[in-house]
Structure formats: structure tokens, C-alpha cells
């Protein structure tokens, strides 16, 4: 059976399973639609959170970035896992205790202000839509390869499927479907990694294989990789950071606090039965995430090594373009891989020097999908990877769209503008909001601001600079008042957005950038993707300053804060 037929079958079967589960568990009430009625076991919730969390950026894009950045790619590994510590320790138990549906609802109540709630909704929508653009890039890459069409057509097909899928389900459907999606995506990620690790190092565990010697030699894999890439003029794999140490530090911090400020992740902790479950649930989520995240560096290093050794086999002449393997041709049709025979010798030369490098385009986002083909693994493994990539992208897109939809229908419509609408109308409004978000994100996805992971990093920066500080101060300070919180959120997200827009273009349309996206224009050498941490510091500072010179929050709010700090139910602020 040829690869494309097999891929159709595997992807088709997994989709049939998701849709079946979504149908079986479909939401009947708004409570089920938003938080699955609050009745999900911590382990199940952890698994669903992991699927929700690990998006196209984690599955398709991240290992590709690590493959080309080496040590410099570590920001994604530490940044996207370390945030769970902040979430589990600083926020999740308290937000669960408070027991509402959405993040803006908490902010609106804690800061006793509808304006605060509206500002939070806007911040949430800006961050989430940016995040969905990143997903759309990943979905576009996956579908273009799988249907063997151009990226743009793949993107449109992907939008259609996300639309159909997310609009039907709601949180209850999504939670159970996401458990299935986690199983698909983790198998799809680890099985090829195990095969490749066995081939190269003889160890089936990729995390150990990465630190082992190559089969039949006395050379460690990482040393061999360092040698291969430096001979071709690239930076050493295991030691080179991207940009400065300060940038690495700030980038990691942005991703961490962004993780703890992203509404679609926080909302997961509203779906567990108890406060103690919220703490443990974050740990389970992180275990399931780390399974993939500690495999990713192995996938990255081994894919990079295989890529170079396929094109430039040791001790032989470079690969003839006419004899290029099948995967090379397939990725050329997507437009994401391009070759130009600069020296006219008919052979492929891949080096760091732009003057002699003939691989003029190698989109980093193709590495994970191409990896099993480069390593010549059996066709069913390749089909499985396609299914896994789509599972990752779909599950996250669905979770994000749900967060956007609930912000618009629950917080804006029901909470502020039309308190009297029925549950049914609220559900209809949220489905319309989802459709709108898909169209907007899909449209912006035609010209994504960065690779899938880079775009997602921007979204984290926006969440880090706006929502995380407001939530944290809401729990840890009784003195921060509505004026402080509102001013802080506005200052944080505005500074971050302006910084991103001036380098990446207004709404990420590159031609509208008013300062070029290059390092001499960067503040202290911090790149736009990493700026969220600076925005967060500004948010904290503004909130403290403004709160000091304005009136303290009313007494009932101080009681409310005291109450959410303790798991036991007591006092007047009890909400359940």
C-alpha cells in the first residue's frame, strides 16, 4: 500500500474516533460546555490538559527549532514546562477555590469592576487569536504534506476541519476527545523516536540514546553531531545560544509566565472536583507533557544528524539532486523545501555560508514530519506521525477557540451587555464567536509572523504581560485595587504589543513594521518573541504604583481574597 493511502486510512480512523467521542459526550448545558460540569478525575484531566497544551508548536515545530538551534532551542523546553510549577504553586488551587467558569470572571469579581473584566477579555482574545495563528501554520504544514498540495491550500482544508470539530463539541466533548488525542499524539511522537534511537545508538529510550555512543563506534552521538555541523560551518550544537544570555533568560521567563497566564490552560483547573485535585492535576499534566518534551531533544539531534548524513554522507561525495529521496521531492511540492544548484555540479551542498548553500529554503517546521522518512522508517510510522501532528494541532485549536468563545459569550454578552440571554442563545453566540476566530486566525495564518513555535511564543508573551500579573496580584495582594489592576493590564499588553508590532508589523503584516526586525533595534537585545516578561514587569510596577495612590479595595474584597487562600469553605464569599 502506498504511503498516501495509508496516511488517509490512519488519519481517517483517528478522526472518526474523535468525532465519535465528541458526539457521545456532547455538551447539553453551558456548565458542561465550558468546564465539563466540574467532574473530571485529576489523571484524566492531566492527560486532557497535556493534549490541550501540546499544540502544533510542540509537536511539529519545537523539535525542528531545536534541531537547528541546538542548545539555543532549550528556551522552549524549559519555558513551556517550567510554567506548570508557577501554575500549580501560585495560581491553580486558588482559582479552583474561587470556582467560576472563566478567567475574566475572576478578574472582574476580584477587582470589583466590569471594566477590569472587559480589559481581561480583550487581553485574552489578543493572546488566544495569536496562538491560534500559530496552530494554523502547523495545521497548514501538516495538511500540505499529507495531501501533497501547497501550504496555502493545506491551511484552508485545516480551517474547515477545525471549524467543524470545535464548533460541535464544547468542553465536555473536548475533554474526552483530548484524552484520545493525547494517546495518539504521544504514540506518534515516541514510536519514531524509539526506532531512530535504536538505529543510531542501540538504546530504545531516546532520552538515554541522546547521551549514548553511536552504534559500532566509541563516539558519543552529541559529539559526532557537533563535529558534523561545525565542519559545514554551522555553530556547535550543544553549546551555542541564540542571541545573548539575557535574551535566553527573558525568553524562558516569558514562556513560563505566559503558560501560567494562558486562559485555555487555567480553565482546565476549573474542571477538577477539589482544590487539592487542582494541585495534583498540574503535576499529572506535566508528567504527560514531559514525556514528549524530554523526547523532543533526542528527535531534534537525531533528525539533524540524519539530515546532514543523508545529503552529505561521510567520506563520500554529496547526494546527486537527480537521486534525491522521495521525501525530498514531496516537501518540494509544498514549497517549504527549496533547492538551487548554484555551482551547477548536480549535487546538493548544504552549508552555513549563504554563498555556497544550495538548500535555499528548509522550513524548520517540516523537520518532525519529515524525520521518519529521512530515517527510512516503515510507512505506517510515517502515517502515524501525520495523525499525531493533526491531533496536537486540533486539540489545542479547539481548547483555545473554546476560551475565546466563552470570553465573548459568557463574559462580554452574558456578563456585561445582555445579562438576560438564555443558555441556548449563549451557546449559539459562542459558536458564532468560534467561527469568527477561525476565519481571522486562518486569514492571518497565510502570512504567519514566524514559525509555528515562534508565533505561539508571541502569544505567550501577550498572556504573560497581561493576565498572569493580574491573577497573581489578585491572590497574593489585598492592596491591589481595580484602578491598579486595569492600568497594569493595559500598560503591560500595550508595551508588549507595540514592541512586537514595531518589529514584526501591525497585526503581523510585515510591511507595516516601523522599525526593522533586527537586533540593533532591540531593547537590550531582547527579541520581540521574548518581550512578554518585560511587559509583565511593567504590569506589576504600574499596578503597584497606581494602587498606592488610589483607594484600597472594599472590605468584602479583602474577605474574598482571604477566603480563596484557604481550601475549606467558609464565610460570606463562598460562591459554590
CB of 259 to other proteins, least distance (A): 11
CB of 164 to other proteins, least distance (A): 35
**Which residues, listed in sequence order, are joined to residue 220 by a DSSP beta bridge?**
213
Nearer to other proteins, 37 or 283 (CB): 283
SS (H, E, C) 257-318: HHHCCCHHHHHHHHCCCCHHHHHHHHHHHHHHHHHHHCCHHHHHHHHHHHHHHHHCCCCCCC
Handedness of CA 390, 138, 48, 189 (dihedral sign): positive
Phi, psi of 213 (to 5 degrees): -85, 155
Residue 473, all three cell numbers: 496580584
CB of 218 to other proteins, least distance (A): 11
Nearer to other proteins, 115 or 573 (CB): 573
Between CA 111 and CA 123 the distance in angstroms is 16
| Half-sphere exposure at residue 397, Cβ-oriented, CA atoms within 13 angstroms | 34
Nearer to other proteins, 196 or 311 (CB): 196
Residue 48, all three cell numbers: 486532557
3 state DSSP class of 453 = helix
Nearer to other proteins, 94 or 106 (CB): 94
Cα 346 to chain centroid distance, Å, stands at 40
By the criterion CB under 8 A, which residues form the site for other proteins? 66, 71, 74, 77-78, 81-82, 84-86, 88-90, 93, 207, 210-213, 220-223, 238-239, 241, 245, 248-249, 252-253, 274-276, 279-280, 282-283, 286-287, 290, 293-294, 297, 562, 565-570
Torsion angle (degrees, nearest 10) of CA 363, 364, 365, 367: 110
Nearer to other proteins, 509 or 569 (CB): 569
Nearer to other proteins, 207 or 376 (CB): 207
CB of 532 to other proteins, least distance (A): 16
CB of 423 to other proteins, least distance (A): 28
Residue 126, all three cell numbers: 489578543
Nearer to other proteins, 549 or 568 (CB): 568
CA angle 311, 316, 320 (to 5 degrees): 45
**266 touches 49 (CB < 8 A):** no
Amino acid at each position: 500500500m502506498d504511503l498516501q493511502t495509508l496516511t488517509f486510512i490512519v488519519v481517517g480512523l483517528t478522526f472518526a474516533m474523535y468525532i465519535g467521542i465528541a458526539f457521545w459526550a456532547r455538551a447539553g448545558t453551558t456548565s458542561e460546555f465550558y468546564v465539563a460540569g466540574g467532574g473530571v478525575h485529576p489523571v484524566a484531566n492531566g492527560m486532557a490538559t497535556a493534549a490541550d497544551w501540546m499544540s502544533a508548536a510542540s509537536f511539529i515545530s519545537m523539535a525542528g527549532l531545536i534541531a537547528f538551534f541546538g542548545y539555543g532551542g532549550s528556551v522552549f523546553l524549559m519555558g513551556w514546562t517550567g510554567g506548570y510549577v508557577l501554575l500549580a504553586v501560585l495560581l491553580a488551587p486558588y482559582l479552583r477555590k474561587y470556582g467560576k467558569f472563566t478567567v475574566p470572571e475572576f478578574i472582574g469579581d476580584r477587582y470589583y469592576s466590569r471594566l477590569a473584566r472587559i480589559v481581561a477579555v480583550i487581553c485574552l482574545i489578543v493572546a488566544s487569536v495569536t496562538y491560534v495563528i500559530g496552530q494554523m501554520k502547523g495545521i497548514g504544514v501538516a495538511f500540505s504534506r499529507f495531501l501533497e498540495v501547497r501550504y496555502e491550500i493545506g491551511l484552508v482544508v485545516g480551517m474547515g476541519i477545525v471549524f467543524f470539530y470545535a464548533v460541535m463539541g464544547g468542553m465536555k466533548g473536548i475533554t474526552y476527545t483530548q484524552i484520545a488525542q493525547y494517546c495518539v499524539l504521544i504514540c506518534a511522537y515516541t514510536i519514531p523516536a524509539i526506532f531512530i534511537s535504536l538505529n543510531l545508538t542501540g538504546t530504545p529510550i531516546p532520552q538515554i540514546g541522546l547521551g549514548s555512543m553511536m552504534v559500532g563506534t566509541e563516539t558519543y552521538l552529541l559529539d559526532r553531531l557537533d563535529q558534523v555541523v561545525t565542519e559545514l560551518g554551522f555553530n556547535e550544537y550543544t553549546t551555542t545560544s541564540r542571541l545573548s544570555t539575557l535574551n535566553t533568560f527573558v525568553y524562558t521567563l516569558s514562556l513560563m509566565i505566559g503558560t501560567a497566564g494562558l486562559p485555555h490552560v487555567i480553565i482546565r483547573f476549573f474542571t477538577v472536583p477539589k482544590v487539592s485535585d487542582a494541585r495534583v492535576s498540574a503535576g499529572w499534566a506535566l508528567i504527560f507533557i514531559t514525556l514528549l518534551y524530554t523526547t523532543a531533544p533526542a528527535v531534534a539531534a537525531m533528525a539533524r544528524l540524519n539530515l546532514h548524513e543523508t545529503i552529505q554522507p561521510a567520506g563520500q561525495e554529496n547526494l546527486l539532486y537527480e537521486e534525491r529521496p522521495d521525501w525530498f521531492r514531496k516537501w518540494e511540492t509544498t514549497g517549504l523545501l527549496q533547492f538551487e544548484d548554484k555551482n551547477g555540479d548536480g549535487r546538493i551542498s548544504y552549508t552555513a555560508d549563504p554563498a555556497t548553500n544550495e538548500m535555499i529554503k528548509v522550513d524548520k517546521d517540516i523537520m518532525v514530519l519529515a524525520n521518519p522518512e529521512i530515517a527510512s522508517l516503515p510507512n505506517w510510522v510515517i502515517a502515524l506521525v501525520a495523525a499525531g501532528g493533526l491531533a496536537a494541532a486540533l486539540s489545542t485549536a479547539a481548547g483555545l477557540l473554546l476560551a475565546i468563545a466563552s470570553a465573548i459569550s459568557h463574559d462580554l454578552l452574558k456578563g456585561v451587555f445582555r445579562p438576560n440571554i438564555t443558555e441556548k442563545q449563549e451557546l449559539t453566540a459562542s459558536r458564532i464567536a468560534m467561527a469568527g476566530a477561525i476565519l481571522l486566525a486562518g486569514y492571518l495564518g497565510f502570512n504567519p509572523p514566524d514559525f509555528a513555535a515562534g508565533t505561539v511564543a508571541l502569544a505567550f508573551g501577550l498572556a504573560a504581560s497581561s493576565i498572569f500579573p493580574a491573577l497573581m496580584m489578585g491572590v497574593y495582594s489585598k492592596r491591589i485595587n481595580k484602578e491598579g489592576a486595569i492600568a497594569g493590564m493595559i500598560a503591560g499588553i500595550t508595551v508588549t504589543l507595540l514592541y512586537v508590532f514595531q518589529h514584526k508589523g501591525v497585526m503581523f503584516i510585515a510591511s507595516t513594521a516601523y522599525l526593522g526586525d533586527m537586533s540593533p533595534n532591540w531593547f537590550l537585545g531582547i527579541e520581540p518573541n521574548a518581550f512578554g516578561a518585560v511587559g509583565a514587569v511593567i504590569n506589576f510596577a504600574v499596578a503597584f504604583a497606581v494602587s498606592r495612590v488610589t483607594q484600597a479595595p472594599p472590605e468584602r474584597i479583602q474577605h474574598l481574597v482571604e477566603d480563596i487562600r484557604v481550601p475549606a469553605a467558609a464565610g460570606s464569599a463562598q460562591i459554590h
